[in-house]
Structure 1
Amino acid sequence: MNDQRIAVLCDSGTDTPEAFVHAHDVRVVPLRINYSDGTSYQSGVDITADEVIERFKDEIPTTSLPTPEAIRQALEQAKADGYEKAVIVTISSGLSATFQTAELVAHMMDDFPIVCIDTKNIGLAAGMVVQRAVELIESGVPFEELEARLTKAAENTRVFFSCKTLEYLRKGGRINEATYRLGSMLNIKPVISCDKQGYYFAVKKARGWEKALATEVKLAREWSVFFEKVRLGICCTNALDVFDEMEEKLRAAVPNALPDIQRTLISPDLLIHTGPELVGVSVIPATEEDPAR
């Protein structure tokens, strides 16, 4: 427990590295994965990414956000464990209603001050904001300053990812049928990010998979130049273990990156919407500085 007794909670879609979660007592509230036979699982708790992928041949399940009761229980447990306040960091409100639900629950807990942060991001990019929350709290930043500083950190964080197939983005309603058909016929791989409202959009379109990965690195470099120092992260699925390859390219392309480039696998709930073959990179400034633009 940190000296300020401020708990940090996040949802499983933030892809916060497991080792960091355990080392800093981050409380993860899982999204749910639902199948047509009525079975429902907590993402990363009683179903793994590999198990979800194995069942893709039979069904692509749906996901649902944590219930208000699940979030409340996590907060009540943090309170019982001795925490006196909390910060909740969620994936983009443009892609999930988890943030709105967290705010609703927070307003109901009058005796337990809570700040909710909408990262307007997804996956490891959101997880980097979770880590920034822990860093600020453990360095002694007052609770009253956390919302503004974490909001700025979220605004300056970017994710760039590509999928080998557009099938899952289409089935999840993230791209339309015309984009799917055209991309499939011409081998177009869009490099996707989140806009200021937290919705997916195609930053660039690359012809072929290798060019898509190269474009991710290029975009990471272009965003990184606005800051003195940045932290980088790489995320992918088990089917595409390209960590070493991507790290080598990022180190060469982003000279102002801190040495510890993070690596994480995609959570089960996220890969349902992106598919089993995804690679992405994330960038967050080392401090909450304004972009030098």
Structure 2
Amino acid sequence: MNKQKTAILTDTCCNVPEAYAKKYDMYVIPLKVIYKDREYLDGVDITPEEVYESLSKEIPKSSLPDGEAILSIFDKIKADGYENVIAITLSSGLSGTNNMIHLLSKDYEGLNFFILDTKNISIGGGFHAIQAGRYLEDGMSFENICEKLQNEVYKCKVFFVVETLEYLQKGGRIGLVASLFGNALNLKPIISCNDEGIYYTVAKVRGRKQSISKTIELALKLAGDHKRYNVAIMNGAAKELAADIKKEILPKLPNVDIFIEEQVTPVLGVHTGPGTIGIGVQILED
């Protein structure tokens, strides 16, 4: 346990790699993947591959964790001797998880909570959890970490492109992304989260190859000449493409602090489908 007696709580859709979750003793709340006749815990008893393999038969739904599961994790944190909790969740504009934690923490005795709405998805939230761990490791106080994390919310962005908008549409997560792109024109949107944490179209280009190139361009532009930044390449059943992108962009990113290459969780895979590529950039220093 750290000297600050501060625990980090996050959810599976923040996509924190297991190595970092273990390093900083994070507590992780799994969301749910729900089929007609069964349900699974995100990344616990179902894999992304299993989700993709079953999409032709049934597109499952996703759900936020139930209150009992969240309270159980609160109890575990308290039993482990912690006094403070930094809870970091995916965007409240995409899930009710953040609000659920807010509601349950209000009446929970024995723990002091700070709940960060990352306004982001996947590693865009996970980077904040990792940074919280690093700040604790550096001995920063609970209060200072909370202030720093809040100020850093808009210094992190994920640009992603999907093979098809079908899954975002069926999952009701289309946000401000125009749902009707001309198939004849083969227009592909590059998607991110806006300041309210809702999906929107950053750019639209013609064709898959061009959409990947534009996503790379946007990520490199965001990193720019900043002195330090974290970078991640996320994929949904597109590991080879992610590896190719890594070879292309890393030489152009001389100031990378942390680099992460990871597959999105099953719940995120439900909403984005196979072939998804995302590039996340978190600015650490201007």
Contact 1:218 / 1:253 at 8 angstroms: preserved in 2? no
Q: Give the TM-score normalised by structure 1.
A: 0.92
Identity over aligned pairs, percent: 35
Retained in 1: the 8 A contact 2:6–2:83? Answer: yes
Question: What stretches of structure 2 of length at least 5 have no aligned partner?
Answer: none
1:55-108 per-residue CA deviation (whole Å, 9 max, x = no partner) reads 111110111101222111111101111222111100000000111111111211
Q: Cα distance, 1:256 vs. partner?
A: 3.1
Counterpart amino acid of 1:69? E
Q: How does 1:198-209 map to 2 (within 5 A)?
A: 198-209=197-208
Tell me the distance in 1 between the aligned counterparts of 2:13 and 2:254. 29
Alignment match, 1:132: 131
CA distance in 2, matches of 1:75, 1:129: 20
In the alignment, the residues of structure 2 paired with residue 66 and residue 126 of structure 1 have an alpha-carbon distance, to the nearest angstrom, of 17
CA distance in 1, matches of 2:94, 2:64: 10
> Does the CA-based 8 Å contact 2:160-2:276 persist in structure 1?
yes
Q: Structure 2: which amino acid aligns with 1:146?
A: I
State which drifts further: 192-201 or 224-233.
Answer: 224-233
Decide whether aligned partners of structure 1 residues 9 and 114 sit closer, same or farther in structure 2, where only a CA change above 3 A counts: same
Shift of 1:251: 2.0
TM-score (normalised: structure 2): 0.94
Aligned pairs for 1:165-176 within 5 A? 165-175=164-174
Counting only pairs closer than 5 Å after superposition, residues 251-262 of structure 1 correspond to structure 2 as 251-258=250-257, 260-262=258-260
For 2:96 and 2:225, locate their aligned partners in 1 and report how far apart those are by CA, in whole Å.
31
Rounded to whole Å, the distance in 2 between the matches of 1:168 and 1:184 is 16
> Which residue number in structure 2 is paired with residue 58 of structure 1?
57
CA separation of 1:210 and 1:142: change in aligned 2, threshold 3 A:
same
* C-alpha distance 201-209 of structure 1, shift in aligned 2 (>3 A): same
Total equivalences in the alignment? 285
- Of 236-245 and 117-126, deviating more is 236-245
Q: Is the 1:183–1:189 Cα contact (8 Å) retained in structure 2?
A: no
2:110 is paired with a residue whose SS is: coil
1:3, distance to aligned residue in structure 2 (A): 2.4
Q: Which residue of 2 aligns with 1:12?
A: 12
Q: CA RMSD in A?
A: 1.8
Structure 1: 4+ residue segments shifted above 6 A = none
1:236-270: CA deviation from partner (whole Å, max 9, x where unpaired): 02344323211122224333333x42111110001
Structure 1 equivalent of residue 235 of structure 2: 236
The match for 2:113 is: 114
Q: Is the 8 A contact 2:238 2:277 kept in 1?
A: no
Does residue 150 in structure 1 map to residue 146 in structure 2?
A: no
2:28 is matched with 28
* 2:278 corresponds to 1:280: yes
Matches of residues 29-44 of structure 1 in structure 2 within 5 Å?
A: 29-37=29-37, 39-44=38-43
